[in-house]
A and B are shown apart, each in its own frame.
Chain A
Amino acid sequence: MNDANSEESRVIDIGDIRLAYIEAGSGAPVVVIADGSGPHLCKSDMILAEEQRVISFGSCRPGSDHEMAASHTIDALEKLGLDRFDLIGHGAGAMVALHMARTAPGVNVVVLAGPRLEPGPAFEDVKCPALTLIGTRDENASLDAGRSIVLKPAHSHLMYVYDGESALGEERPEALAFIVREFFERRNEFLVSREIGRILP
């Protein structure tokens, strides 16, 4: 069991490739593909770790493309015995997360937070519910690419994060963790609020 407040760095070998990853928390697994080449848990990930087991991998190593990184990460997860999990891709990690969502049957839902996306038909293949979060101050937001995955309103959603740029998990961690938890738990039903409106008994 991992402590929600501390990260534990580990490595795993996939053939001749050694992948670094970090873990925090316990509970239903969440796989985080970080924005950089190495694993990293941002503030919103750490909030998720209070209730879930969060495992982070880097997005792309030098000499690797998104598809290859996705394939290696899926192999690593299989080796770790994780056959079903929720998935988040932050920034550049969103492309890797998308490729994982296309190819790994164990992805329950995918969240793309402040994604750096490249347009392409591949996004149409995502079968699981997908939530794309884009900061309202993100001038580099790949909105068109973000929208390209919002082809099936029944299970793909676009949400703006007010006053956020691209590092949404650091800028508005509570907000991000809140909506991600809702989406993980309720999937497409998250559209329907269940917040209590009653003020006083």
Chain B
Amino acid sequence: MKASLFCNAQYMGQAPSDVWPLPGKYFSGEEGVRSMRTAFEQFRCADEFGFDWVTVAEHHYSPISLSPNPMVMAGALCQVVRRAKIAVLGPTIPLHNPVRVAEELAMIDIMSGGRVVAGMMRGTPSEYVTFNINPAESRERFAEAIHLIKRAWMDPNPFGWLGRYYQYRTISIWPRPVQTPHPEMFMSGASPEAGEFAARNGIGVGFAFSTVPLAKKAAAHYRACAAQAGWEPSSDKVLYRALFHVADTDEQAFADMSTIPPRVNLADQNSGISSGLLKSGYYGVDVVGQRERSARRDLRERIDLGQLIVGSPDTVLKQVRRIKEELGAGIIDLVVGVQLGERTLRSIELFGSKVLPRMKEL
């Protein structure tokens, strides 16, 4: 089993986390620089202590992340992280020009010597407001863009594209990915529609900020769809993302995490956006299940449901084992839930030195 460290470059200054979009007046350049330096220090630490991947992602208009462009983060990480794979999980595909996405991921792949993992995300729903894209079109845009990106990576000759949402008269990207036929691809598998699409197209799935029971059900659906499509996903095709914190003792870890803020669903912080998204059909056939993932829960319940991985190395290993056993995940994407300075670095070090070596045998 593999581990990745996901540090979303959370803003470390004082700013409300339950407002979206958050006014820029809360931003301090000094705190922004400090936040970004902290993120890079944690990524460097994860690389040093044996994490298999480091993860970056895309978020907008919010202090939860100072990474509106994960490609920029990944490009910088190529120079900092020397060994681990760089998982871009990922660009919010329907918001962007797919040719540009194909080019940038190929560029990061060569910059990193073939270490990029290509996440293809439909994104955080409220963020469709960011670039004024209709969320009702998100699945169709996503599907078309994925086909186009794969072809842009693989087709050796110039070609045009006559799509429903994208049209190009000629495409011939340079550079091309180092990895052949293309970098490993992941997408969210949280919704039934996404699981089916991923299975049909041989793409790995990730479950982010879900619960183990919900992810277990979704992983089973993905595997069933893959079986129908004639293949069997290995555990390396299933990623589970959770917040984590490791300390020398359970008591210390729980005490540290008692300061963690409740999970905030950005889409629900603005009533107009929230109701507009619901009406758009963004959540698909399983509206209840999709929204249940982000329901507010207390610390104990979040740990029990597998949203938080917290404790001493032994306790954390048990929690990771449960995720492996219940949903067959082969990759765990660990999110720095709260910035605690030296204690966060110690958490990464403890995981890398005391948990990860034992995880390899799971």
Q: How far is the CB of B159 from the nearest CB of chain A, in Å?
A: 5
SS class, residues of chain A in contact with chain B: mixed
Q: Give CA–CA (A114, B147) in the complex, Å.
A: 18
Say yes or no: B163 contacts A157, CB within 8 Å: no
B159: contacting residue among A158, A163, A172, A175, CB under 8 A: A158
Residues of chain A in range 121-180 having any CB-CB distance to chain B below 8 Å? 133, 136, 147, 150, 153, 157-163, 172, 175-176, 179
Say yes or no: A162 contacts B164, CB within 8 Å: yes
In the complex, whether B148 has a CB less than 8 A from a CB of chain A is yes
CB<8 Å pairs between A and B, sample of 16: A147-B157, A150-B158, A153-B158, A157-B170, A158-B160, A159-B160, A159-B161, A159-B169, A160-B162, A161-B162, A162-B144, A162-B147, A162-B148, A179-B162, A190-B169, A193-B169
Residues of chain B in range 133-184 having any CB-CB distance to chain A below 8 Å? 144, 147-148, 151, 157-164, 166, 169-170
In the complex, whether A191 has a CB less than 8 A from a CB of chain B is yes
For B164, what are the chain A residues with a Cβ–Cβ distance below 8 Å?
162-163, 175
Q: Give CA–CA (A163, B140) in the complex, Å.
A: 11
Given contacts A158-B160, A160-B160, A162-B163, contact A136 B169 (CB under 8 A): no
Q: How far is the CB of B225 from the nearest CB of chain A, in Å?
A: 18
Residue with the highest number of chain A CB atoms closer than 10 Å, among B160, B161, B162: B162
Binary flags per residue of A41-56, CB closer than 8 Å to B gives 1, else 0: 0000000000000000
Say yes or no: B159 contacts A160, CB within 8 Å: yes
Say yes or no: B162 contacts A175, CB within 8 Å: yes
For B159, what are the chain A residues with a Cβ–Cβ distance below 8 Å?
158-160
For A193, what are the chain B residues with a Cβ–Cβ distance below 8 Å?
169
Count of interface residues, chain A, beta-carbon cutoff 8 Å: 20
Q: How far is the CB of B57 from the nearest CB of chain A, in Å?
A: 27
Say yes or no: A158 contacts B163, CB within 8 Å: no
Determine the residue in chain B with the shortest Cβ distance to A159.
Answer: B160
For B144, what are the chain A residues with a Cβ–Cβ distance below 8 Å?
162-163
B161: contacting residue among A150, A162, A176, CB under 8 A: A162
Determine the residue in chain A with the shortest Cβ distance to B148.
Answer: A162
Residues of chain A in range 37-69 having any CB-CB distance to chain B below 8 Å? none
Given contacts A133-B162, A190-B169, A191-B170, contact A158 B157 (CB under 8 A): yes
**Chain B residues within CB distance 8 Å of chain A:** 144, 147-148, 151, 157-164, 166, 169-170
Q: Give CA–CA (A98, B148) in the complex, Å.
A: 28
Given contacts A136-B147, A191-B169, A193-B169, contact A157 B157 (CB under 8 A): no
Q: Give CA–CA (A146, B159) in the complex, Å.
A: 11
For A172, what are the chain B residues with a Cβ–Cβ distance below 8 Å?
162
Q: How far is the CB of B346 from the nearest CB of chain A, in Å?
A: 50
Q: 3 closest Cβ contacts across the A-B interface?
A: A159-B160, A162-B163, A191-B169
- Could you list 15 further interchain pairs (A-B, Cβ under 8 angstroms) beyond the known A159-B162, A162-B161, A193-B169? A136-B147, A147-B157, A150-B158, A153-B158, A157-B170, A158-B159, A160-B151, A160-B160, A160-B161, A161-B162, A163-B144, A175-B162, A191-B169, A191-B170, A192-B169
Residues of chain A in range 67-98 having any CB-CB distance to chain B below 8 Å? none
For B157, what are the chain A residues with a Cβ–Cβ distance below 8 Å?
147, 150, 158
Determine the residue in chain B with the shortest Cβ distance to A137.
Answer: B147
For A133, what are the chain B residues with a Cβ–Cβ distance below 8 Å?
162
Q: How far is the CB of A84 from the nearest CB of chain B, in Å?
A: 25
Q: How far is the CB of B37 from the nearest CB of chain A, in Å?
A: 39
Q: How far is the CB of A93 from the nearest CB of chain B, in Å?
A: 19
Q: Give CA–CA (A176, B159) in the complex, Å.
A: 16
Determine the residue in chain A with the shortest Cβ distance to B158.
Answer: A153
Say yes or no: A158 contacts B158, CB within 8 Å: yes
Binary flags per residue of A174-201, CB closer than 8 Å to B gives 1, else 0: 0110010000000000111100000000
Q: Give CA–CA (A200, B75) in the complex, Å.
A: 36
Q: How far is the CB of B156 from the nearest CB of chain A, in Å?
A: 9
For A136, what are the chain B residues with a Cβ–Cβ distance below 8 Å?
147, 151
Q: Give CA–CA (A157, B164) in the complex, Å.
A: 19
Q: How far is the CB of B295 from the nearest CB of chain A, in Å?
A: 36
Determine the residue in chain B with the shortest Cβ distance to A153.
Answer: B158
Residue with the highest number of chain B CB atoms closer than 10 Å, among A163, A176, A190, A191: A163
Q: Give CA–CA (A75, B148) in the complex, Å.
A: 42
Q: Give CA–CA (A192, B161) in the complex, Å.
A: 14
For A157, what are the chain B residues with a Cβ–Cβ distance below 8 Å?
160, 169-170
Q: Give CA–CA (A167, B210) in the complex, Å.
A: 43
Determine the residue in chain B with the shortest Cβ distance to A161.
Answer: B162
Q: Give CA–CA (A153, B158) in the complex, Å.
A: 8
Q: Give CA–CA (A176, B166) in the complex, Å.
A: 14
Q: Give CA–CA (A191, B167) in the complex, Å.
A: 11
Q: Give CA–CA (A163, B148) in the complex, Å.
A: 11
For B158, what are the chain A residues with a Cβ–Cβ distance below 8 Å?
150, 153, 158
